[in-house]
Amino acid sequence: MTRVAMIGIGAMGEPMAANLLKKGFALSVLRHRRSEPAERLRALGATLAASAAEAASGCEIAVLCLPTSREVEQVVTGRNGIAQAAAPGALVIDCSTSEPASTRRLAALFAERGIDLIDAGMTRGVQGARQGKLAFFLGGERAAVDRAMPVLEALGDTFVHLGPVGHGHTAKIVSNVLSYGTVALVNEALMLGTRSGVDGAKLFEALMQGAPSKALESFGPRMLAGDYDPARVSVDHVCEDMLMAQELARDACAPVYLLAVAQQLYRQFSLRGDGERDMSAIAELWRAAPPPKR
């Protein structure tokens, strides 16, 4: 039985860990800042660990599902980190939204210890995690990716190997740019239509027939209803990810005009003190505005 360590059991990591247990993997999980996820996973058969090193000790594969590169670097190189405990021949699968440059540095560090790392950027959100239908953008050596597939297949159903280490996380950042920019555009489209007097529900139906998109389907009804709970992706999370996209654009000397505009929109909403709200709540920037003069 393959032993797997799961580092990061938040909104995405907990259902991913549950699916690994259902597929028969022996699982060790790092305790979360909240006790409930760890206790639910223990009830399903997971072993709880007090540190990343303890979780990874004796495991053949470690899966990381953390918010940013900062947290990844901490659990890898910090006190009681994975780098101290993982044995030569182990494999690390980083499913976090990480900076590609950081991912490459950590891959080099692990390589010195005889440990493989692949980056596995993922999409389809919490629902995909619960259903075991995540899509993964993979970066790393082909042999390491092949080793990771039994674990990944317990978590998702779509896998694209884009190239060497770092390419999976690059694709994830690009995917986020597309998603967040499209949500901002959906917001403007609905604002334009409703403030011009068109019934919002009928407008949504028409757009879903003539110009459908996943962003419109998922976030349009929330924007029109003014009901943004529960939060799927917080505005502050969007701002963090878009900052990574700006850094990627800087390194690639890529002009990203629309990204910059969308980033300012989300940042404006965050500065109002609404950073923890769902990103669809940017609709409040126009919903609360005075009606147009006719």
Q: Is 133 a catalytic residue?
A: no
Rounded Cα gap, residues 158 and 137, in angstroms = 9
Residue 114: exposure state from Cβ atoms within 10 A (0-12, 13-18, ≥19): exposed
Per-residue pLDDT tens digits for 10-48: 989 999 999 999 999 999 999 877 789 999 999 999 999
3-class state of residue 138 by DSSP: strand
Q: Selecting from 1.10.1040.10, 1.10.357.10, 3.40.950.10, 3.20.20.80, what CATH number does the domain 171-287 have?
A: 1.10.1040.10
Percent of the chain with pLDDT over 90: 88
pLDDT of 70-92, one tens digit each?
Answer: 999 999 998 889 988 889 999 99
Q: Are 136 and 158 in contact (CB under 8 A)?
A: yes
* Predicted structure pTM score: 0.91
Query: Is residue 230 reached through a cis peptide bond, with omega within 30 degrees of 0 on the bond before it?
Result: yes
pLDDT of 110 strictly over 90: yes
Q: How confident is the model at residue 294 (pLDDT cuts 50, 70, 90)?
A: low
- Residues composing the chain: 294
Q: Select which of 172, 202, 214, 293 is catalytic.
A: 172
Q: What pLDDT shows up at residue 3?
A: 94
Helix/strand/coil for 137: strand
Query: 3.50.50.60, 3.40.640.10, 3.20.20.60, 3.40.50.720: which CATH number matches 3-164?
Result: 3.40.50.720
Q: What is the mean pLDDT of the chain?
A: 94
Sequence spans of domains, the chain: 3-164, 171-287
